[in-house]
């Protein structure tokens, strides 16, 4: 499959779609998932047109994973979470729904059940609050 530059993450990167941004540098962007599994569910994407891990430029991937770590640390602190789940899906059979490489950062607590994708949009005011909490830690 060829990279689709009309996917929602490509549109966010170009400024054609909005996002509740958490962190950004020259290599990647972190923002709130609009269909979160748990409070604090954040996505980190490379700024490279890459569909999945298999096509990723190793240099950009290395810089992106450093930012995944930075964002995960901030999410953990902002949501007082004893654990963090990092998920990265490749291909439709693995559950990938947006075909731009991305990492899910989810705060976890004992007894919390979470699947990979929600079925409803979150309240945007709540997402902005969550993004501000994480930005304050970074």
Q: What is the pLDDT of residue 81?
A: 95
Residue 90 lies in a domain: yes
CATH number of the domain bearing residue 50? 3.30.428.10
Residue 130 lies in a domain: yes
Specify burial of residue 21 (Cβ count, 10 A radius: 0-12, 13-18, 19+): middle
**Percent above pLDDT 70 for the chain:** 93
Q: What is the pLDDT of residue 120?
A: 77
Chain centroid to CA 35 = 11
| Count of structural domains within the chain | 1
The helix-helix angle for 124-137 and 58-78 (nearest 10°) equals 100
Lowest mean pLDDT segment, chosen from 38-42, 73-77, 111-115: 111-115
Residue 76 lies in a domain: yes
Residue 46 lies in a domain: yes
Q: What is the pLDDT of residue 118?
A: 60
Q: What is the pLDDT of residue 136?
A: 92
Active site residues: 102
Q: What is the pLDDT of residue 112?
A: 57
Q: How far apart are CA 56 and CA 105, in angstroms?
A: 19
Specify burial of residue 107 (Cβ count, 10 A radius: 0-12, 13-18, 19+): buried
Residue 21 lies in a domain: yes
For 113, the domain range is 8-137
Q: What is the pLDDT of residue 10?
A: 98
pLDDT, tens only, 5-61: 999 999 999 999 999 999 999 999 999 999 999 999 999 999 999 999 999 999 999
Residue 1 lies in a domain: no
């Amino acid at each position: 499959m060829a990279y689709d530059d009309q996917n929602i993450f490509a549109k966010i990167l170009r400024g054609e779609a909005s996002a509740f941004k958490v962190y950004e540098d020259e290599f990647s962007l972190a923002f709130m998932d609009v269909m979160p599994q748990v409070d604090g569910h954040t996505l980190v994407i490379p700024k490279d047109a890459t569909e999945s891990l298999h096509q990723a430029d190793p240099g950009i991937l290395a810089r992106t994973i450093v930012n995944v770590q930075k964002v995960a640390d901030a999410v953990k602190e902002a949501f007082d979470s004893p654990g963090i789940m990092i998920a990265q899906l490749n291909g439709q059979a693995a559950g990938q729904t947006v075909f731009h490489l991305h990492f899910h950062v989810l705060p976890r607590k004992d007894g919390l059940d979470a699947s990979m994708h929600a079925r409803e949009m979150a309240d945007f005011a709540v997402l902005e609050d969550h993004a501000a909490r994480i930005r304050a830690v970074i």
